[in-house]
Amino acid sequence: MKYVLAIDQGTTSSRTMLFDERGKPVATAQKEIQCKYPHSGWVEVDAIDVWLSVADCINEVLVKNDLTGDDIDSIGITNQRETTVVWNKKTGKPIYNAIVWQSRQTTAICESVSDKKQLIHSKTGLIINPYFSASKIRFILDTVPGAQEMAENGELIFGTMDTWVMYKLSKGKIHATDVSNASRTLLYNISTMSWDEELCKIFNIPMSMLPTVNPSSFNYGDTIYGAPITGVLGDQQAALFGQTCFEKGDCKNTYGTGCFMLMNTGDKPTFSNNGLLTTVAWQIEDKVTYALEGSVFVGGAVIQWVRDEMKLINKSSESEDMANSVKNTGGIYIVPAFTGLGTPYWDDDARGAIFGLTRGTNSAQIVRACLESIAYQSKDVFEVMKQETGIVINDLGVDGGATANKYLMQFQSDILETNIKLPACLETTALGVAYMAGLHTGFYKSMDEIKKIHSYQASYSPSLDKSEVTRKYKNWKLAVEATRLFKSE
């Protein structure tokens, strides 16, 4: 029997998973990665450490299961998006640490091109923000002596983590990326589906540094393990695919530290006026699928806060029993704007608040309101998606650590007035890219077949009165408004 090997190169760890023909995970290996924080707000990682962690995971999953490269049908790579590596084409050595997506060290570079906001949005579907790769490349070329000149001479190349891992897996033969990763760089035109000369000029980035862009399901070439790489996707797009959100209007939300909601918007990009990002979901053969994306900065992290800072619980999982131990929140609302607010507010200056406290407010009600805040923030994104696309969303696929919380999931279904479905395999990121890789080789016959073998472990249906939903959501909106009025010191 053969397997698809999925490599999931994440921010805090790398992971490998083997999937069988039914899309069942049969083995996994994981290695933590140490990020570096050289200055406040800066996040970097040694790209060689990242490659080592990936190689270790591949070796471990093969050795522990008594397998070799011959047992692998194909390899899929999914990755933390936007994180940027620049390396020397001759030596294969990075010239600077990889700059991680979260890092804010390029704020000044972004401000220097803020007059190009409109143009950049219309070509890339993104906003100007340090998250995306372009300002990170600029930073490296500015910081390493002689780098700009070397780049102009064609001696340096750039890649996101998929590109870097592929380069290493092929001993330097492959310098490529897929459309979903390219669409997160600020240099890729998502309408013409090509690197954009004008955008590269704005950031003064030589186009010779850029990888070849291929479809997500494509034979990228063979690896040192023998098996070819036939699927590549950014992590959120992989989760959308792993949730089998194949049709226009299909939507998923991931409940991790933050929340990421993506909606398949079909074969044309939908540009948002309310802070949703437009992105390429994937390309299979010549068919491109687009997505809208919204994010909540503090999702599951609010539960870490009540655990680690407020010390109201010892373990995240205790939040469920605690929430169920009270009848209601006693009318309190928590807006966890610890680091500002994401979609649709994009308010960097907002800070958190609790409203409606009384002498009787207790810790269980606070925990319950924290869980509800995750659901309300996700509803904010959900409402904008519905509004901007005019699509009625009947089902929401969910994944991520906080989906283990049944109180949260039921409340989410109630407040969204939508069914929620939890897949059997919650590692939808790895699963998505495994599906993508296997589709190319025929390991998975078709997207229809994938739909058939995809299974669920739980679902939730809305059960709250419409008037209650309206009342609660109105109060939430008021709480957000009031939070934003307050200017923290």
Residues that bind ligand ADP (CB under 6 A): 256-257, 300-301, 303-304, 316-317, 319-320, 400-402, 404-405
Q: Least CB distance from residue 304 to ligand ADP, whole Å?
A: 4
User: Do you know the residue count of the chain?
Assistant: 489
Which of residues 304 and 358 has its CB atom nearest to ligand ADP in the complex? 304
Structure tokens at 322: 């605690």
Find all residues with CB under 8 Å of 70, minimum gap 6, and list them: 226
Which of residues 126 and 375 has its CB atom nearest to ligand ADP in the complex? 375
Q: Least CB distance from residue 125 to ligand ADP, whole Å?
A: 24
Residue nearest to ligand ADP (CB): 401
Which of residues 205 and 262 has its CB atom nearest to ligand ADP in the complex? 262
Q: Least CB distance from residue 67 to ligand ADP, whole Å?
A: 27
Q: Least CB distance from residue 339 to ligand ADP, whole Å?
A: 14
Which of residues 80 and 183 has its CB atom nearest to ligand ADP in the complex? 80
Q: Least CB distance from residue 320 to ligand ADP, whole Å?
A: 6
Q: Least CB distance from residue 311 to ligand ADP, whole Å?
A: 14
Which of residues 256 and 275 has its CB atom nearest to ligand ADP in the complex? 256
Q: Least CB distance from residue 184 to ligand ADP, whole Å?
A: 17
Which of residues 151 and 303 has its CB atom nearest to ligand ADP in the complex? 303
Which of residues 189 and 405 has its CB atom nearest to ligand ADP in the complex? 405
Which of residues 196 and 399 has its CB atom nearest to ligand ADP in the complex? 399
Q: Least CB distance from residue 63 to ligand ADP, whole Å?
A: 26
